[in-house]
Structure 1
Amino acid sequence: MTTIMQITPYYPPHLGGLERVVENLAAGLGHRHDVRVVTTTIGSGNAPRRSRVGPVQVRRHRSIEFAHTPLAPGLLGSLLRAPRSAVLHLHTAHALLPELVALTAWIRRQRFLVHFHLDVDSSGRLGWLLPAYKKHVFGRVLRAAAGVIVLTRSQADWVRETYRVRAERIFVVPNGVGAAYFMDPRPLRRPDDGPLELLYVGRLSPQKNVTRLLEAMSRVQLPIHLTVVGDGEQRAELHELAARLGLTNVTFAGARLGAELTRSYADADAFVLPSDKEGMPLVALEAMAAALPIVATAVPGNTELLGDVALMAQPEPAALAAALDAIADDPVLAEFHGLRSLTAARAHDWDTVVRQVEDIYAEVLS
């Protein structure tokens, strides 16, 4: 049985798509391998620092977050104590952790994989350092990896051109969606069904641009009620903006996971994704499986996954509001996009994704 170290800056109950991708991948691999998740305590609430969830061991290291970067010195010890034959599978969208994994691999003469979820933009007081870090540090880590897993073909081209990673070391593996999210198509909405129940799920962070969504909600002409599911650093700011805009048609529901999250999709009539950029948004896959019509901004990441599925809008409030009104006004259009969602989601089950990852392990780490 192979030992697989899934190394991630954050892990549920911390909110985010990357976290749930790691959770699902670890659970799928755990049926056939010794899977150990190594992560930080950030956003873990009351979760124990050592636990076993099904077949998966989870080790959380004490940490602090500085400039949107988790710092967990003890994590290096876990990596150095892992079996030399272990697969080191790093999930990355943040600094420092890639360097710890690369250092471990160099010391122990191990190979490692990088799972590249998203290229983050500069933010905060030290954001000006990020371009230099990417060019001179992170790029070296990617080139040293035995393989780099990306989510889309366009992301593969970008990693090859930007970070000079050799094409034969880049592997495209899309995100998956769990069976619990698959639902029957929605019945056609009737004029007397009340407001369109619109759902957003995700972090309340600048990249997701819920600000744009709230501004769009202040412009819609038809009855639409928005439920915002999620939490993050912009929570207070977004509550204040909704109050300032006088939005009585918006409910902030906070974080939801498991069955509560599944019910959120079941109760919705449509889903919205107002992001500035995405990798491959897991919440969009979940909404697709739930047979929801989707309105999304036409930005990188969204266009690859949703270009043939969703009603796409330019990333500005007026265009987003017009697209939401179109879905609310035309039940046949909503039904059409809901069926497209469900059809496309069927190609993204987790069993297929796990097998693809296992094939990559066999190819590059054997």
Structure 2
Amino acid sequence: MAGAPLRVLLVSPLPPPVGGIATWTRILLREIACDPGIAVEHLDTAVRWRAVTQISAPARLLGGTAQALRDYLRFRSILRSITPDVVHICTSAGYALRKDLLMLRAAASRGVRAIIHYRMGRIPALAQSQGGEWDLLRQCTATAHTSVVLDRRSMRALREACPAADVRSLPNMVDLMAVDGVLGGLDNSDANSALDCAVCLVYVGHVLPSKGVTDLVEACRLTGLRLRLEVVGPAEDAYCRELASRSGDHTTLIFHGTLSHEEALETLRRGNVFVLPSHSEGFPNVVAEAMACARPVLATDVGAMPEMLDAESAEPCGICVEAKNPAALADAITLMAGDAGLRAAMGARGRRRAETEYAAPVVTRRLTELWREVAALSG
């Protein structure tokens, strides 16, 4: 007779709204549902009281404090009712670290080992700043049994700062079955003959200055090329008007707004190059999806993106440039626009890397092995 399933209390958001952590959660819960040896109790921490583009500090502090209290009380209630074998807390850090620390301490008080999963790429920068957020992050790392980060640079920084801590690196995952299901009937060629432009660029994400969208529009203008830039994601009207005024005469700028996941993938596939010029990132799901779509990626040298694209190797899946540098981004766009063979080769390598490194079953297996390892130590 099989033993009782491993009980995991997972603290993470689910869509809506769509975001990197929420997408990861959705894919993970679907994968875990196929494993009878694991029973997940999920605490949904999605922020639904404000628009994703509403980022003012006062609103985030007041509304976030109320939500943090609600999430913490729900966490305590679930912790008492099911006594999980493992707690797994996903966090984007920032204001949420105070709540995360309280949850970690509550789990420890009941003898439950906890994993904290840092879902952002700012750890090296925080280690240099030595500010209040870094102090809280170190406290969380010291309290958790295991800390999980998204990239090797973050892992090195956290291990150096907390040498006694167990720090692991785990990539995000991409749902290849879903991608292929949506795109199976679409043309996979790079040809752009139907459009009167050198190349079609696609951006998918929150349309914000911090995501480098202003940099991207400026870079397109600097190339002097006739380009098509399709922007997918939630945006404020005033910011869209500002971007349009900056785009110049040679860039056809199209705002799609928020699309369904399927529509976003179709838009990404129709383009020649995916661009994500963020100022800060963790391990963006959309980059993995672009790779799964066999599209080359232009990104900034932040978070896990250089690692994802194998950017320093002889056979990269894309190009990484310095963040907040429109001129460098313009040079990379010009290179991609003029070399269809380069685009095709990078896209093909990206697809292979998505299959071997980031496919949902591969990453889920690594995570469940970690859960079982931590639970065994707890027992």
Normalising to structure 1: TM-score of the pair? 0.83
Count residues in correspondence: 337
Identity of aligned residues (%): 25
8 Å contact from structure 1 (residues 113, 145) kept in 2: yes
Call closer, same or farther: CA 1:119–1:310 in 2, change over 3 Å.
closer
**Given that residues 190 and 331 in structure 1 are in contact (C-alpha distance below 8 angstroms), is that contact kept between their aligned partners in structure 2?**
no
Taking the aligned partners of 2:344 and 2:326, their CA distance within structure 1 comes to: 24
> Which protein is richer in helix relative to its size?
2
Q: Deviations over 1:275-329 (max 9, x none)?
A: 1232222111000000012112233422121212102333311221222122222
* Residue 353 (str. 1) matches residue 349 (str. 2): no
1:254 maps to what in 2? 257
Are the counterparts in 2 of residues 116 and 150 from structure 1 also a CA contact under 8 Å?
yes
Matched, 1:80 2:80: no
**Does the aligned pair in 2 maintain the 1:197–1:224 contact within 8 Å?**
yes
What is aligned with 1:186? 188
Whether the aligned pair in 2 keeps the contact of 1:229 and 1:256 (CA below 8 Å) is yes
Aligned to 1:12: 15
Q: Which structure 2 residues correspond to residues 148-167 of structure 1 after superposition, within 5 A?
A: 148-162=147-161, 164-166=162-164
Distance 1:37 1:70 in 2: 21
**CA shift for structure 1 position 119:** 4.6
RMSD: 2.8
Match for residue 228 of structure 1?
A: 231
- Structure 1 residue 65 corresponds to structure 2 residue 31: no
Alignment partner of 1:365: what SS?
helix
**1:32-47 correspondence runs (5 A):** 32=35, 33-40=38-45, 42-43=47-48
User: How many Å separate the matches in 2 of 1:270 and 1:36?
Assistant: 39
Question: What is the one-letter code of the residue matched to 2:179?
Answer: Y
2:76 aligned partner, one-letter code: L
- The equivalent of 1:325 in structure 2 is 334
Partner of 1:334: 343
Residue 222 and residue 132 in structure 1: after superposition, are their counterparts in 2 closer, same or farther (change >3 A)? closer
Q: Describe the SS at the equivalent of 1:218.
A: helix
Matched residue, 1:201 = 204
Post-superposition shift, 1:206?
A: 4.5
Contact in 1 for aligned 2:295/2:347 (Cα 8 Å):
yes
Alignment of 1:117-196 (within 5 A): 117-120=119-122, 132-162=131-161, 164-166=162-164, 169-179=166-176, 180-182=178-180, 186-189=188-191, 193-195=195-197, 196=199
1:58 aligned partner: none
TM, length-normalised to structure 2: 0.80
Mapped to 1, the partners of 2:139 and 2:110 lie a distance apart of 18
Residue 189 of structure 1 aligns with an amino acid whose one-letter code is: A
**Structure 2 regions of 5+ residues with no counterpart?**
51-58
Distance 1:206 1:246 in 2: 14
Assess if the C-alpha contact under 8 Å between 2:223 and 2:331 holds in 1: yes
SS at match of 2:223: coil
Tell me the CA shift for residue 44 of structure 1.
7.3
Question: 1:241 aligns to what?
Answer: 242
Q: Distance in 1 between matches of 2:46 and 2:65?
A: 9
Amino acid at match of 2:221: S
Match of 1:314 in 2: 322
Whether the aligned pair in 1 keeps the contact of 2:192 and 2:272 (CA below 8 Å) is no
Tell me, yes or no, if the aligned pair for 1:313 and 1:320 is still in contact at 8 Å: yes
For residues 208 and 195 of structure 2, the distance between their equivalents in structure 1, rounded to whole angstroms, comes to: 32
Distance 1:282 1:361, change over 3 A: same
Q: Residue 170 of structure 1: SS of its match in structure 2?
A: strand
Q: Gaps spanning 5+ residues in structure 1: where?
A: 46-63, 122-126
Provide the rounded CA distance (Å) in 2 between the counterparts of 1:106 and 1:299: 33
Q: CA deviation at 1:199?
A: 0.8
Q: Which amino acid letter does the alignment assign opposite residue 354 of structure 2? A: A
Distance 1:29 1:70, change over 3 A: farther
Residue 351 of structure 1, CA deviation: 0.6
Amino acid at match of 1:309: C
Contact 1:152 1:174 in 2 (8 A): yes
* Paired amino acid for 2:341: V
- The answer to which of 141-150 and 34-43 deviates more is 34-43
Deviation by residue 1:68-102 (Cα, 9 ceiling, x = unmatched): 94642222232222211342110011323312311
SS in 2 for 1:231: coil
Q: What residue in structure 2 maps to residue 52 of structure 1?
A: none
What is aligned with 2:55? Answer: none
Q: Does 1:2 align with 2:9?
A: no
SS across alignment from 2:60: strand
Distance 2:319 2:122 in 1: 25
